Chains A and B, each alone.
Chain A
Amino acid sequence: MSPASEIALVAGRELKKSIRSVKGIILAILTLLGSFLAVLICIWIETGVRKDVGIENTAAFQQAYEDAAVKAGSDPAVAHYVAHMPISLITFLKVLIWIGPMLVAILGFDAVSGDIQHRTVRYWTVRSRRWSYLLGKFFGLWGIVSIVTAALMVLSSIAVLIRGFITFGDFVTWGIRCWAISALIVGTWTAVATFVSSRFKTPLLALLTTFAAFFCMWLPGFIGWAVRWGTAISSAKTGGRAGETARAVIANIHWYEYLYPNGYDDLLLSPKPLHVAEGIGACAVYMIVFVGLAAALFAKKDV
């Protein structure tokens, strides 16, 4: 039997298990709450921004946005691209990548540790390569969280579609793209959660450690963001030009900020293929390192 078949079998079972367990109910509740929250945030932002600039019409609003970005020093092509991003869907993306890690932690903390705790894993290790089993668990978890985020995206999009903030075309193009980006970023969190889960035989410890690990990943991103904005604000106070200040905030990303996967969304949303490739590469490295390490250690582990 090929490793791919083993992985598919284990991942498929994991998906089924998540949907029909208590977790399935939690998932449904979180999806509805998440959608509601996303829509509220979106309406608040979208109506607020339009009110601020005094433009209700979407096309006129996008043109004004593009003009402002060019004036601030953006490349005209990039300014056009950014101005035509539907704010609602970008807001959903931000919500998804914030909710994603929480879903991953809640759904994934016992994916492997639960099986190790009760030695249920022993039924699998005589039939499946250990690394296939682990990859199956990883893909199963990634799959279920991606399904939840997709459901959340669809529900929220329907609400803003009715409200007139996006068109159906926006939903098909940008909506799917935003979801794919969120899924990619969720993959990195899933890799870390799978690694942590495979190192513990007490699920509660795995849950706490997963949250601790996620916090450690968030911290460099937050510090980098705070430093950039701090510098920009002091520059503005000392009479710096607005365009240069804005560019400095966008361009001066510190290396350690790459430890925070949610920061990759800017790269993945970029109109420049190189940036997108960079974002995909960063996510892939994250996943390969953590899942690879987890699989290597699990292969040696006494169960």
Chain B
Amino acid sequence: MAAETSESTESAPSSAEGGAAQTTKKKKVHESAVKLTKATKRFGNNLAVDELSLNVRAGWIYGLIGPNGAGKTTTFSMMAGYLEPTHGEVEVLGFSARSVDELRGRLGVLPQDALLPALDRVGEFLIHMGRLQGLSSAKAISAARDSLREVGGLDWWEMRCGTLSHGMAKRVSLAQALLDDPDVVLLDEPTAGLDPRVAYEVRQLVKKLKGKCTVVISSHNLQELEEVCDAAAILDHGKLIASGTIAELTAASEEIHVRVGRAPKAQVAAGASRTPTLPLDAIRAIPGVTRYEWDEDKRDLGVFFDRKTTDAETVIGQTLWILLNAQVRISGVTKGRGLEQRVMDLTDE
């Protein structure tokens, strides 16, 4: 067990409906919240995950990225203890992912495709989950209400799980994952199938978890991951293709991209070129810039720089100044390539 541990005692407020009760939770704080060491999973002859090693630091929001069949859900399921690795180790907070007693109440999981028990009322389901986490009856009720309130579903307390819409069920499922503030939360496709407004609310909720606990999110939605994650791992064919902070993965500290707009219709009608001539030499001369790439089809100008001598903000400012002085219309600017592009580059075959 490589995870370094240190003991600390912290107070976690737990507000009951009528008043606020203070509860003291004793938690072990780990540098590494989730750790996979050469984790391999086979289903018969199919190798779903191949010697995957990952280290998710405590407090991070961490993304699992990859195309269909990349091994995201299998990796996620091993982290949650649903699947036993064929080889290798999976640890959560320094314990085997299947050590239920040690992880009770410290690991919250939102499974992607697990149906809620149809006949249970939302409230009693959450209370039952809380009781299984070792909470007393009164605390379980309080935690269930807090959690449901957090996902905006307190009105559903008396509803049967089987009558909930997809979005409501997803949020109830999220509420059980967040019950009693676990140390590690695993979320599998938390916004899949949700309408944009609810998806936005869920993203805001995940962002609010930052600093409170470690979150691992498996998702196809790369923009969402780029928005909320500190770091991510990109998987393909069961292997780790790349991992690191989002800035590292998107090369945000090494390149910027400017999307150039077309010339106005009136100017084109008067005989001007649809794409204005770019002052590329001037851009190349910006201090710290090492090279540029101009893709006329995509109208994308990539400017690469040495992060030791300059930074992205300085390069953006100078590049835009030069382009605007040359009457170039700007459609958009991004730091780095964007996670989506990065994943496309890495997983493209």
Contacts and interface: CB of A to CB of B under 8 A. Distances in A.
Contacts of A119: 111, 113-115
Contacts of A130: 100
A122 B116 contact: no
A interface secondary structure, majority = helix
Given A1-B101, A302-B82, A302-B83, A122 B114 contact: yes
Interface stretch (A13-21, A49-57, A290-298): A13-21
A121 B120 CA distance: 14
B123 to A, nearest CB: 14
Interface string B66-85: 00000000000100111110
Contacts of B115: 118-120
Interface in B84-131: 84, 100-101, 103-105, 107-109, 111, 113-117, 119-120, 128-129, 131
A17 B119 contact: yes
A116 to B, nearest CB: 11
Contacts of A9: 128, 131-132
A117 to B, nearest CB: 9
Contacts of B105: 127
B211 interface: no
Given A126-B100, A128-B100, A300-B84, A1 B111 contact: no
A30 B113 CA distance: 35
A205 B129 CA distance: 29
B133 interface: yes
Contacts of A6: 132
Nearest to A119: B114
A168 interface: no
Interface of B: 77, 80-84, 100-101, 103-105, 107-109, 111, 113-117, 119-120, 128-129, 131-134, 176
8 contacts: A9-B128, A120-B115, A122-B109, A125-B100, A127-B129, A300-B84, A302-B82, A303-B83
Given A118-B115, A303-B82, 20 more contacts: A1-B104, A9-B131, A9-B132, A17-B117, A17-B119, A17-B120, A20-B119, A21-B119, A119-B113, A119-B114, A120-B115, A121-B114, A122-B109, A123-B116, A123-B129, A124-B132, A127-B100, A127-B104, A128-B100, A300-B84
Q: Which 6 A-B pairs have the closest CB atoms?
A: A119-B114, A127-B132, A118-B115, A122-B114, A1-B134, A122-B111
